Structure 1
Amino acid sequence: MRKGTGKAADWWSFGSIVYEMLTGLPPYYDQNKQALYDNIKNKDIDFFNDEELNDKNVSDQAKDLLSKILIKDPTKRLGAGEKDAEEIKEHPWFTESSEFEWETIINKSGKPPYIPNLSKDDDVDHFDEQFTKLDPHGSFNPRGTQKKLSEDQWSDFDLDVEEDSDE
């Protein structure tokens, strides 16, 4: 039976998003999907010598944060301990930045550094033509067209539901 992933998986996802925001590519990236999966499973990133991070002049504090979040062993990952999110929030990449304030984010009271001027709700002028000229054919999958999954595709999963004895 498989077990849930827990909060450590959320911190991995957070680290992946931070990495992509800093470099423009996800960690372990490869154009070949199978190579990407193999990289995720088998490759270790040396964050302080990572070509993508160095090309973008990513700070050592950001590299340190990523090196502590994108650890394959979830029990060793920053944020996986008893302090949970506090471990992340106390990292120098956040605490030593004069531009980052948790309360502002939580209260949604900050102003973004850039607000695009939109002519209408579906204005795509701020997106690169590389994306806006793509043929959307095949990108939308309306309900009912998904391939029906067979029962054996779920054979490795088990759902144990505890019944309430008071009923």
Structure 2
Amino acid sequence: MSIHLERYSDRYESQIACYQLTDEQLQFTGSPVESILLAKSDEDRYPILVLDDEEIVTYFVLHKNEGVTPYSNNQKAILLRTFSTDFRYQGRGYAKQSLLELPRFVKMNFPEITEVVLAVNQKNIAAQSLYLKCGFIDEGARTMGSHGELIIMSLKVNVLI
């Protein structure tokens, strides 16, 4: 498996339109189509594609400034949101590989960032386990989201790549 992370551009529009999430996945995440629309009117949102041989397998958004505010006081943090793997590619390790690649991608594209923060639904046990395996830390912070309690997790991004 040889993945790479890339910022979204319109040349991927038709692939994003075909990105498949199950109803179960949609309980915990948003659709890439909707989040790209939000990003077009918010310069602090950066849709990121995870590609394997030019096929989009995983998708997420990195959100600076106001996006981070509900979850962290760190001015140099970025929020990981809308993280998902296309249903057709689940179970192949793409999500894990994406998260392991994330610190390097963040340092290269957002050199001022020192921490990645995320909020995961407390009912989403699989995602919590994945985030912990990939180095995210649960320091005990909780908040309420629209679908229940959220666990705030963070990953320090080292200055060295």
Give TM-score, length-normalised by structure 1.
0.27
Structure 1 or 2, whichever has the larger Rg, is 1
Which structure carries more strand by proportion? 2
